[in-house]
Structure 1
Amino acid sequence: MTVIEDPAAAAASLDPTRLRLLAELAAGPASAAMLAGRVGVPRQKVNYHLKTLERHGLVELAGERRKGNVTERLMRATAASYVISPTALGAVQPDPGRARDQLSARWLLSLAARLVRDVGALIVGAGRARRPLATFALDAEVRFASAADRAAFVEELTRGVGALVRKYHDGGAAAGRDHRVVVALHPSVKEDTAVVGRGTGTVEDTSGEGGPAAGRLPAARDTDAPAPQEERD
């Protein structure tokens, strides 16, 4: 996985034709002529797009081969997948410090954006230093029978994580290193396989009350509605 932090590289990667080329090259090396036939774009244009991607470090030279009187450059993607860091958005990237609200879906999204930014920066730094990066992630799904069960789960989770933080946190450890813990709970999203990657999908009803999925968390306020402080952002 390659983390894209540079705004120009992010813009270059989002071009539809370049996205198709990256997908093709992630499957294996190919020349401009080979790619032109696959994506239905003239070879000259493919060459232009490849040079742009190469300039931003998204593709690289895999080798060369002679084909008649022409030497073809075989290019390959520098990663199997890419993620654009919020760092590329500069001053307009999400900032969870603006309005802390545990019941706000927008605050949860800000936390997730910060997670992508910070872990992305750590991956880039660890790669340059050629050092391992110590991380841990836990992913699970739970189906609640009712909104009350969901509320009870959140309360127990909050107490449990809080107890662990208090138990192991040592603010006076001179040789210690700070770590961030992020715990999230949100309704499951069922992706439509026909449109995966287009930001669409359906949300399962997890309210436990029937009807359209409201995405409500344990408190009475509907998290789909902006919190008062969010409206001021």
Structure 2
Amino acid sequence: MLDVAVIEEPAAAAASLDPMRARLLAALAEPASAAMLAARLGMPRQKVNYHVKELERHGLVVLAEERRKGNVTERVYRATAASYVISPVALAAVSPDPARSPDQLSARWLLALGARMVQEVGTLLTGAARARQRVASFGIDARVRFASAADRAAFADELSRAVTDLVGRYHDESAPQGREHRLIVGLHQIPTTPAPADQPPAQEN
């Protein structure tokens, strides 16, 4: 089972978003038959079997094993991954385009960059899975607490200059065997628990 699988097909995305099928998908992190799921979730076996078959049809669950019980064969299924991400490819006609309005200070542009990253890395993972290969990748995750908006702006400026310098030093347009990579550095406030309705939001420094 994969840690994360990327859903690119619109029909598969729709299947995963159906509340009942999403519930069954989560339950199938542990292999189970339709009868086992029905008993565990308190649902009719025929309904469970129908929805599991639909999840299998879209490649979200697979047959793990078949068990013979007398004259009956019990089919045991499992989810293909522990968690799923829906790629913007599934909504190709309305997926965000970072090139449409690039603005380093725009949260929506940052979201568009993230969506593009999900799309591109998802495509790489799908191709690598078919070829039974790994995707070469690298990520940094850090938390920064700024004392003021001025500090945040200074940090963004210094980070921008540092990245520009690194890209300038290592980018080689003429390398015959070179492979293009995309670098994204994102900085955003970590969401907190929403304040009560009668409490005003915190003011930005």
Asked if structure 1 preserves the Cα contact closer than 8 Å seen for 2:149 and 2:204, the reply is: no
Distance 1:29 1:140 in 2: 36
- The answer to whether the aligner puts 1:212 opposite 2:171 as a matched pair is no
Matches within 5 A, 1:78-89: 78-89=80-91
Give the structure-1-normalised TM-score: 0.81
- The answer to whether the aligner puts 1:8 opposite 2:11 as a matched pair is yes
| 1:90 match | 92
Matches within 5 A, 1:72-83: 72-83=74-85
Distance 2:204 2:124 in 1: 32
Aligned pairs, number: 198
Counterpart of 1:212 in structure 2: which amino acid?
Answer: P
- The answer to whether the aligner puts 1:19 opposite 2:22 as a matched pair is yes
Asked if structure 1 preserves the Cα contact closer than 8 Å seen for 2:6 and 2:87, the reply is: yes
The Cα of 1:67 is off from its aligned counterpart by: 3.5
Counterpart of 1:23 in structure 2: which amino acid?
Answer: A
Q: Which runs of 5+ in 1 are unaligned?
A: 191-200, 204-210, 217-233
| 2:186 match | 184
| 1:65 match | 67
Counterpart of 1:12 in structure 2: which amino acid?
Answer: A
- Over the matched positions of the two proteins, sequence identity in percent amounts to 67
Look up the SS of the partner of 2:137 in the other structure: coil
Matches within 5 A, 1:84-233: 84-190=86-192, 201-202=193-194, 212-213=201-202
Distance 1:106 1:118 in 2: 18
- What are the superposed Cα offsets for residues 3-57 of structure 1, whole Å, 9 maximum, x if unpaired? 110000100111111111111111x110111101222221000000000000011
Give the structure-2-normalised TM-score: 0.91
Distance 1:76 1:131 in 2: 23
- What are the superposed Cα offsets for residues 172-225 of structure 1, whole Å, 9 maximum, x if unpaired? 1111011101011111113xxxxxxxxxx549xxxxxxx724679xxxxxxxxx
Asked if structure 2 preserves the Cα contact closer than 8 Å seen for 1:187 and 1:215, the reply is: no
| 2:53 match | 51
Distance 2:78 2:32 in 1: 7
